[in-house]
Homo-oligomer: A and B are copies of this chain.
Amino acid sequence: MLGNFAYCNPTKLYFGDESLKYLNTELPKYGANVVLIYGGGSIKKNGIYDEVVKILKENGKNVAEIAGVMPNPTLEKLYEGVEIARAHKADLLLAVGGGSVCDYAKAVSVSVNCDEDPWEKYYLKFEEPDCEIVPVGCVLTMVGTGSEMNAGAVITNRETKMKIGHVFADESVMPRFSILNPKYTLTLPHYQMVSGIYDIFNHICEQYFSGEDDNTSDYISEGLMRSVINSSRIANKDPQNYEARSNIMWTATWALNTLVAKGKSTDWMVHMLGQAVGAHTDATHGMTLAAVSLPYYRHIMPYGLAKFVRFAKNVWNIDTAGKTDEQIANEGLAAMEDWMRELGLVMNISELGANEEMLEAIAGSTIVMTGGYKTLEHNEIVDIFRESL
């Protein structure tokens, strides 16, 4: 049942191998002071940094930089960036990188003019911004998080070992524009590519696996899942396949821009589990999700059996003749496991640095959400992590 909801996603997307030139269309809309935000410097090696800086200069921009935004951006880094953006009187925050860089830019954007502590306000109290939000633009170089077209921003507090994502309700937090050039993703290492692919797939799963009803969102989700499965198999064998990489990039955007969540009561428990692993190990986001997914889904399957049967039939084309619902559902998850192994995803958390002794602590820092098929108890979370070892 779709229920009552609002939908608004004003982010302007420029997609394709020639999309960077549209920075020239967007930059004149903002004041002169731009803060360029990027990560570990790969954009300097592959030339994207030089191209972007050239365009900024041609548009007469006064540029400051926040460099070294790490995967799982930290609260310390957020504080540092806020100071830089304030000192520069930023008119635009231009993120050039993957989801962590875009997330980070959004976290800065709601904190520059905020008098309160952003961790306290946005990540512990989950409040909405009541200050002026600095506009954000993105040039995406990695695919998976969907951060380029949503109002989400995940920040990690290393001190308290909490990795928390806040999806802001206010669409003003969404990037004003994002430039999506699939070519930029062609040079990513295989590990990063498949990690992003699993992140996409899991975003769809998180929204799909809730409710029993017949909802347009689930049909769109099935289409997106079929697309990403198909393109990922092509890209896994041939990472330079532009068509496959462009479909993956586009699917990523639509997997997490609120569309397929409409009418769904999502709990995002795979992310809660994976983020707890990430906070304790600093592992790559998509791989933390991959490592906990199957133990989690096998655990909740009995509570949402009809949806797992539908998943098996509509996403994995499982032949249902003469089988029980449990058999069909299990075959669906087995097909998903085959696909995950084919891609070379990390299938257990011990590979990511977790061990038996850490399970209680990781489980303790897992945020438990409601809205899915089963609200997890602490002992169930420990069991799922143990299964994931």
Contact = CB atoms under 8 A, between A and B. Distances in A.
A220 interface: yes
Contacts of A100: none
Interface in A1-53: 1-19, 22
Interface in A192-232: 213-216, 219-224, 226-227, 230-231
Interface stretch (A138-146, A243-251, A293-301, A324-332): A243-251
A60 to B, nearest CB: 24
Nearest to A223: B223
A139 to B, nearest CB: 15
B5 A15 contact: yes
Contacts of A7: 12-13, 15
Contact of A15 (B6, B242, B250): B6
A371 B262 CA distance: 33
Contacts of A227: 216, 219-220
A223 B231 contact: no
A254 interface: yes
A6 to B, nearest CB: 5
A112 to B, nearest CB: 24
Nearest to A249: B2
A13 B4 contact: no
B4 A18 contact: yes
Interface size grouping (class) on chain A: 35 or more
A3 B3 CA distance: 36
A329 to B, nearest CB: 19
Nearest to A244: B214
Contacts of A5: 15-16
A309 to B, nearest CB: 15
A171 B215 CA distance: 28
Contacts of A18: 4
Interface in A235-281: 242-244, 246-247, 250-251, 254, 259, 262-263
B250 A216 contact: yes
A354 to B, nearest CB: 34
Nearest to A5: B15
A57 to B, nearest CB: 24
Contacts of A254: 216, 220, 259
A182 to B, nearest CB: 8
Nearest to A230: B214
Nearest to A12: B8
Nearest to A3: B16
A254 B4 CA distance: 17
A2 B244 CA distance: 10
Contacts of A234: 214
A290 B15 CA distance: 34
A215 B222 CA distance: 14
Given A215-B247, A220-B220, 12 more contacts: A2-B16, A2-B247, A5-B16, A8-B11, A10-B10, A15-B262, A213-B243, A219-B224, A220-B227, A221-B223, A223-B224, A254-B259
User: Which 6 pairs show the lowest CB-CB distances between chains A and B?
Assistant: A4-B16, A223-B223, A10-B10, A219-B227, A219-B223, A8-B12
Interface of A: 1-19, 22, 171, 182, 213-216, 219-224, 226-227, 230-231, 234, 242-244, 246-247, 250-251, 254, 259, 262-263
